[in-house]
């Protein structure tokens, strides 16, 4: 029988274990505002770099090059609907592998409704054989715990089955990365359903970094994060709370408890979206990793001790 102090220690360790090794995301535009990532992020961290339709892949490449030079592990996005041709894709992968030695990317369909070229989904990208040709063997693909407006549930099931098969056929290390969510319950239910359907791809769950409720609400509206939107909408309806800063502590606590209770679960780590700014989110994440937090039983979360601004 555990006493209360032992249970508290166990819960803290679960949280530290889940938070350790977190990855994070930046846009080329956002990266340009950061003088030196080493000021805020610890060396060796995997930093994902977006490639959005309407932007230039040169900017993604330049940001990845800069991050590598500063001692990080850049993970560029390859967005199917933003790629004009197979030759463009081959050139992009050749440069990533040849110039930067990159062996890991995130493959997504992309949010655009109309593709600019011949690719509309991740499976078409992977089916080219170009990732194997250029030695890019660790590949993140999108996971949708709360569904997606761009793809039906049946199509998502078929796509995930295809990606599991691709990983088995090629020996590539595929894993799922989710959009940011605000609540644990939809993620847990989704993981259980995926396991029942035979998914073997590990899952990195997206969490929002520290940001005001207004900022989170605006991002949630833009990204369409499904069931979690109800949670943040309830917060945003309280005008007095719009400018208060929200932290994902309860989300992390509940996911950590689920992972500890069910070692067979698919969740292996967290992906941080620094929606309210890199410094604020990174400081919070490292405070958790370094155990500078205390449990707050009344709300089911925890409170961190942040360094002075």
Nearest to 172 by CA among 126, 110, 125: 126
Q: Is residue 189 part of a domain?
A: yes
Q: pLDDT digits over 235-250, tens only?
A: 555 444 444 567 899 9
The number of distinct structural domains making up the chain is 1
DSSP 8-class letter at 307: P
Q: For position 222, what pLDDT does the model report?
A: 54
Helix 4-19 to helix 249-261 angle (10° resolution) is 100
Q: Is residue 298 part of a domain?
A: no
What pTM was computed for the model? Answer: 0.90
Q: For position 121, what pLDDT does the model report?
A: 94
CATH number, domain containing residue 108: 3.20.20.220
Q: Is residue 301 part of a domain?
A: no
Non-local (6+) Cβ contacts of 101 within 8 A are 68
Q: What is the mean pLDDT of residues 45-68?
A: 94
Is the distance from CB of 105 to CB of 83 less than 8 angstroms? no
Q: pLDDT digits over 72-112, tens only?
A: 999 999 999 999 999 999 999 999 999 999 999 999 998 77
d(CA 269, CA 216): 21
pLDDT above 80 (res 149): no
Q: What is the mean pLDDT of residues 7-26?
A: 91
Beta strands in the chain (DSSP E): 23-26, 46-49, 73-79, 104-108, 138-143, 173-180, 203-208, 211-212, 245-246, 267-273, 293-296, 301-304
Q: Is residue 56 part of a domain?
A: yes
Q: Is residue 187 part of a domain?
A: yes
The structure tokens listed for 51 are 């490639």
pLDDT above 70 (res 225): no
d(CA 138, CA 202): 12
Domain limits at 197?
4-292
Q: Is residue 303 part of a domain?
A: no
Burial class (CB in 10 A: 0-12, 13-18, 19+), 265: middle
d(CA 91, CA 157): 31
Q: Is residue 165 part of a domain?
A: yes
Q: For position 228, what pLDDT does the model report?
A: 55
pLDDT band, very low/low/confident/very high, at 263 (cuts 50, 70, 90): confident
Q: Is residue 118 part of a domain?
A: yes
Q: For position 307, what pLDDT does the model report?
A: 75
Q: pLDDT digits over 202-218, tens only?
A: 999 999 999 877 776 67
């Amino acid at each position: 029988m555990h006493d209360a102090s032992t249970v508290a220690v166990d819960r803290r360790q679960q949280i530290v274990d889940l938070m350790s090794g977190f990855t994070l995301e930046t846009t080329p535009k956002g990266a340009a505002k950061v003088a030196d990532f080493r000021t805020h992020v610890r060396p060796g961290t995997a930093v994902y770099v977006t490639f959005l339709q309407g932007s230039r892949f040169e900017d993604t490449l330049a940001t990845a090059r800069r991050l590598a030079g500063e001692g990080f592990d850049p993970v560029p996005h390859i967005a199917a609907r933003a790629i004009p041709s197979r030759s463009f894709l081959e050139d992009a992968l050749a440069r990533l592998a040849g110039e930067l030695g990159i062996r890991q990317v995130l493959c997504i369909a992309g949010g655009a409704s109309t593709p600019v070229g011949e690719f509309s989904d991740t499976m078409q990208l992977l089916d080219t054989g170009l990732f194997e040709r250029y030695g890019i063997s660790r590949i993140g693909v999108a996971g949708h715990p709360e569904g997606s407006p761009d793809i039906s549930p049946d199509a998502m099931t078929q796509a995930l089955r295809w990606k599991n098969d691709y990983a088995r056929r090629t020996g590539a290390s595929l894993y799922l990365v989710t959009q940011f969510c605000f609540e644990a319950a939809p993620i847990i239910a989704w993981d259980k359903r995926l396991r029942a359907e035979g998914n073997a791809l590990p899952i990195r769950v997206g969490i929002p970094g520290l940001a005001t409720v207004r900022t989170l609400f605006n991002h949630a509206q833009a990204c369409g994060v499904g069931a979690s939107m109800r949670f943040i909408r309830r917060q945003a309806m309280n005008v007095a709370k719009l400018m208060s800063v929200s932290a994902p502590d309860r989300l992390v606590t509940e996911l950590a408890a689920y992972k500890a209770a069910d070692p067979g679960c698919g969740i292996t780590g967290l992906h941080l979206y620094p929606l309210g700014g890199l410094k604020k989110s990174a400081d919070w994440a490292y405070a958790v990793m370094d155990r500078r937090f205390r449990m707050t039983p009344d709300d089911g979360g925890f409170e961190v001790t942040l360094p002075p601004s």
